[in-house]
Structure 1
Amino acid sequence: QVAACALADASYSYTSTLSKPKPRTLKQVVFSAETVNAELRDALAHTQALVAGIEVAKEWANRPANHATPSLLANAAKAIAKGPAFKCEVMGPKEVTKLGMGAFLAVARGAAEPLRFIVMRYSGAPAAQAPVVLVGKGITFDTGGISIKPAAEMDEMKYDMSGAASVLGVFKALGELKPAINVVGLIPATENMPDGQAVKPGDVVTSMSGQTIEILNTDAEGRLVLCDALTYAERFKPRAVIDIATLTGACVIALGGVRSGLFSSDDALAQALQLAGDASGDACWRMPLDEDYAEGLKSRYADVANVAGRQAGSVTAAKFLQRFASRYPWAHLDIAGTAWRSGAAKGATGRPVGLLLAYLLAQAGPAAAKAASNRRR
């Protein structure tokens, strides 16, 4: 698995917006072994599905924002969620307004591109089995809004939907492996733009949960779209909810590009994700969620502010999200440092598809994995 993934990563080539794309030079890989058994065949099938998922995540995170709008992201979800085990629903501004997603709508107000709320479902187990819900941040381009970002390297903000891209990648792999587990994918997708309708610093909005939020910084928009999606997740009565987001520069400072930041209100869920990260080579590191960190989020004008001070920025962002995820086991993966490489070799890494897929397959269990293997044959 390690060798196949390394070869796939080394030979990957982005081609979608090139007039003369260079084709992939690696055409075929042959592995030999003294004994070819079911375990090896299953390992190879797993790796093929994993690579397919990782490359879906890379593709969408690498695409320029004008080639990866919320509507195009929704079309990609529909294309992936085909087959009898899949369903995909796409909602627009009208439906999101009816749901009362005031925080999500606030972020989208300045964008000409209409928002999309994408709901993907994979049903590999009986309906009575509670699903795992994956929530992917889908900011298809982040200017920072009125709190506009510096021009340098702003082009890289096309990758601010890497959480959403990882959900698409996981569903691509699920379609190939067909494990006995139920999974829901939620993607709130929008651009964050600064026009005359854009939300302003100091504005107060009402989230789907009914909690009011003072938006002190419009560049802290990811948590605003996620909080409404986390509230929406309650309707699935999930066994666990994991949100995945390029959320904070503070997490890049803390952990660099080696490990994703893991925050969780549930020890068992955190341990399972940590083990999945270690097993897949897509590592994460658990960060604190002490209640003292929430002090900076207090507001005179709303139930909560969307930012605290500069200190422990990744933790205070997670504390904000935790307010909206109290009714189920919840974990948050901050992938700001791991989803993208900057510099001369800049581009998407496809993380944390490996971690998430390893976690889901472990939850499905050995019997389910064996059944999936038999279905593939």
Structure 2
Amino acid sequence: MEFLIKNTQPATISTDCLVIPVFENSKLSDTGKALDDAAKGQLISIIKQGDIAGKPGDTLVLSQLGEIKAKRIMLFGAGELNKKLSEDDLIKSFSAVFSTLNKLNLKQVAIALADIHVAGREKTWVVRIAAQLAGTSQYEFNQLKSTKPKTTKSKYKKLTFLAPESTHKTLSQLTQEAAATIKGINVARDLGNLPGNICTPSYLAKQARQLAKKDEAKLKVTVLDEKEMEELGMGSFLSVSKGSKETGKLIVMEYYGGKKGDKPHVLVGKGITFDSGGISIKPGQGMDEMKFDMCGAASVFGALNSIIELKLPINVVGIVAAAENMPSGNASKPGDIVTSMSGQTIEILNTDAEGRLVLCDALTYAERYEPESVVDIATLTGACVVALGSHASGMYSNNDKLAKALQKASDESYDRIWHMPLWDAYQKQLDSNFADMANIGGPEAGSVTAACFLARYTKKYHWAHLDIAGTAWLKGDKKGATGRPVSLLVQYLINQSK
């Protein structure tokens, strides 16, 4: 989608659809009143008929009125006039707007947001959220259907924001970042939505090599196979991949957009392309959703797509630990003990706690880059879903500065995270009678003890862990990958590049 910024009066812009807010009790802002004057009073007359109440989520599409040049006018509810909206009400309003626009036959749309005020937010943030929702709302995944959905309507590809000249430079930068972020989000959604028989570790490796072709001068890709991982001593990773005929891959994508010698920021993604649970097999109901267990890896691909698009002046390394977790005669058994790349031994009490087993070796591999920061992203625990639901990802960190930087990026992108405890008191739950540690810590605080497990492999650098088990995909009739937390990761890297 192309975003434009224009300093044009709403009544005079030629567009397929002009979008403006209307407020409760049939109230119009100054912008709305000026439009009503151009419409010879027709606008307020229609509003007073009661077809739109002005509440967030309300929309009403009108045909051309009076001297307004737009072919259509969309009114959307914005709550009480002169009262600031909450962030969630803004999301509700914009979601309704873009859902309605996508059902119309349009080529271009203009939107006037000068009268929208959100508590604790700058006007530029409102435009940023609108741009991102507009782009992501048009996402579809139908490439595997033999018959594509038929439609006579074309989704608009050009969105113009009407704004004062003084804001154009800032908004132009924000919308450029939004456009790149949308592409990254949709890359992650595509990978997440692909079934496990297509999106295998080898497929992800192929996608990494394809990505390198976008900027071969700056992006270097290395794929380690199981023999190479064995030589490095990655016994923990290999204990997961050995149960499948699909061989595991450690995929390394090195982006050098910054100065030579600058320490890179490393993103590590859990890439379990299908998780049956292994010998500790999962219940059958809902197991199809375990194709989403590689959404952490998908977010790394998405973020790298975005930073290449933006040509960010920063060094970033993406590491994807890709494997299938399957039951077979070769699969790990509960009670097996393996040696990780770090030399620490692990008693596998539950083969369904496999994500941490591939991640710990990937996190040890990250040491060689002497990184500025390391962030791992993983659909790691059902316990995180119990704790935080689908609204926020859980964040754990061994460094307060890094945690605050991620929290800032979360706030700016509205891709929400919640800072969880990483206290030593939880570590004893991982004690094993037979190895240095067990791979699970019992029924209490499962998300915390999983993070504590990973923390044992991250003592040589500043590290954060994002548990996205509750946010990476939706269930029910809207089932599909969300692309989270690409927006957060991209904003974090943008901030670091400055």
TM range (shorter): over 0.9
Which of the residues 432, 445, 453 maps onto 1:299? 432
Query: Is 1:49 equivalent to 2:180 in the alignment?
Result: yes
Partner Cα distance (2:132, 2:284) in 1:
35
* Alpha-carbon distance, 1:94 to partner: 1.1
* Alpha-carbon distance, 1:290 to partner: 0.9
* Alpha-carbon distance, 1:266 to partner: 0.3
Task: Specify the SS of the correspondent of 2:292.
Answer: helix
Which of the residues 386, 392, 411 maps onto 1:259? 392
Q: Are the equivalent residues in 2 in contact too, given 1:13–1:23 (CA < 8 A)?
A: no
Structure 1, unaligned runs of 5 or more:
366-377
* Alpha-carbon distance, 1:7 to partner: 1.9
Partner Cα distance (2:327, 2:139) in 1:
35
More displaced 10-residue stretch of structure 1: 73-82 or 108-117: 73-82
Which of the residues 139, 152, 155 maps onto 1:26? 155
Partner Cα distance (1:293, 1:124) in 2:
39
Q: Are the equivalent residues in 2 in contact too, given 1:81–1:171 (CA < 8 A)?
A: no
Which of the residues 175, 181, 206 maps onto 2:339? 206
Query: Is 1:169 equivalent to 2:302 in the alignment?
Result: yes
Query: Is 1:223 equivalent to 2:356 in the alignment?
Result: yes
Partner Cα distance (2:457, 2:430) in 1:
14
For residues 218-272 of structure 1, give each alpha carbon's deviation from its aligned partner in whole angstroms, at most 9, with x where no partner exists: 0000000000000000000001110000000000000011110000010000011
* Alpha-carbon distance, 1:115 to partner: 0.9
For residues 46-99 of structure 1, give each alpha carbon's deviation from its aligned partner in whole angstroms, at most 9, with x where no partner exists: 111000000000000011101101001111111112311111111111111111
* Alpha-carbon distance, 1:41 to partner: 1.8
Q: Are the equivalent residues in 1 in contact too, given 2:374–2:464 (CA < 8 A)?
A: yes
Structure 2, unaligned runs of 5 or more:
1-127
Query: Aligned residue for 1:184?
Result: 317
Which of the residues 98, 101, 116 maps onto 2:249? 116
Task: Specify the SS of the correspondent of 1:155.
Answer: helix
Q: Give the residue type in structure 2 aligned to 1:16.
A: Q
Partner Cα distance (2:150, 2:280) in 1:
41
Partner Cα distance (1:81, 1:16) in 2:
23
Q: Are the equivalent residues in 2 in contact too, given 1:13–1:22 (CA < 8 A)?
A: no
Q: Are the equivalent residues in 2 in contact too, given 1:16–1:63 (CA < 8 A)?
A: no
Q: TM-score, normalised to structure 2's length?
A: 0.72
* Alpha-carbon distance, 1:23 to partner: 7.4
Q: Give the residue type in structure 2 aligned to 1:250.
A: A
The count of corresponding residues between Structure 1 and Structure 2 is: 365
Q: Give the residue type in structure 2 aligned to 1:27.
A: Y
More displaced 10-residue stretch of structure 1: 199-208 or 72-81: 72-81
Query: Aligned residue for 1:13?
Result: 140
Q: Give the residue type in structure 1 aligned to 2:332.
A: V
The aligned runs of 1:131-142 (5 Å cut-off) are 131-142=264-275
The aligned runs of 1:87-126 (5 Å cut-off) are 87-126=220-259
Partner Cα distance (2:472, 2:280) in 1:
24
Query: Aligned residue for 2:421?
Result: 288
Partner Cα distance (2:418, 2:237) in 1:
28
- Which structure is higher in RCO with an 8 Å CA cutoff and minimum separation 6? 1
Task: Specify the SS of the correspondent of 2:266.
Answer: strand
Task: Specify the SS of the correspondent of 2:132.
Answer: helix
Partner Cα distance (2:201, 2:307) in 1:
22
More displaced 10-residue stretch of structure 1: 201-210 or 287-296: 287-296
Task: Specify the SS of the correspondent of 2:207.
Answer: helix
Partner Cα distance (2:148, 2:231) in 1:
44
Task: Specify the SS of the correspondent of 2:253.
Answer: strand
Larger radius of gyration: 2
Partner Cα distance (1:115, 1:208) in 2:
15
Task: Specify the SS of the correspondent of 1:325.
Answer: coil
Task: Specify the SS of the correspondent of 2:174.
Answer: helix
Task: Specify the SS of the correspondent of 1:140.
Answer: strand
Give the RMSD, CA atoms, in angstroms: 1.1
Task: Specify the SS of the correspondent of 2:490.
Answer: helix
Q: Give the residue type in structure 2 aligned to 1:322.
A: A
* Alpha-carbon distance, 1:4 to partner: 2.0
Q: Are the equivalent residues in 1 in contact too, given 2:135–2:179 (CA < 8 A)?
A: no
